[in-house]
Amino acid sequence: MIEEEMYNRAITFIEERYPKGWGGAAVIHTGDERYLISVAPVTFNASTELCIEVGAICEAHKFNIDVTR
C-alpha cells in the first residue's frame, strides 16, 4: 500500500535527520512511482516559513512529474 510506504519512509527519514528532539518530514508520491521527501526550512523570519510539503512539491514540479499522493 502506497500510504503505508509513505509513512514508513517519513519515519525512517525523521529518525535519521533528527536523531534528537522534534523533527518533521513530508512524503509525496509521484506518477512515476517516486517518493519525494521534504522538510520545513528553519528560518529566523516567520514570514518566510513554508509548509513542510513545499520542497517535495517543488522538486516534482522541477522534474515535470505528477503528484498522486
pLDDT (tens digit per residue) in 4-55: 999 999 999 999 999 998 888 999 999 999 999 999 877 888 888 888 999 9
Q: Cell numbers of 53, please?
A: 510539503
∠ at Cα 57 (51, 61), nearest 5°?
A: 145
pLDDT at 21: 86
pTM for this model (two decimals): 0.84
User: What b-and-e string marks burial along 4-15, b requiring 16 or more CB atoms within 10 Å of the CB?
Assistant: eebeebbeebbe
pLDDT at 23: 86
pLDDT at 11: 95
Please name each of the domains of the chain with its CATH number: 2-62 (3.40.140.10)
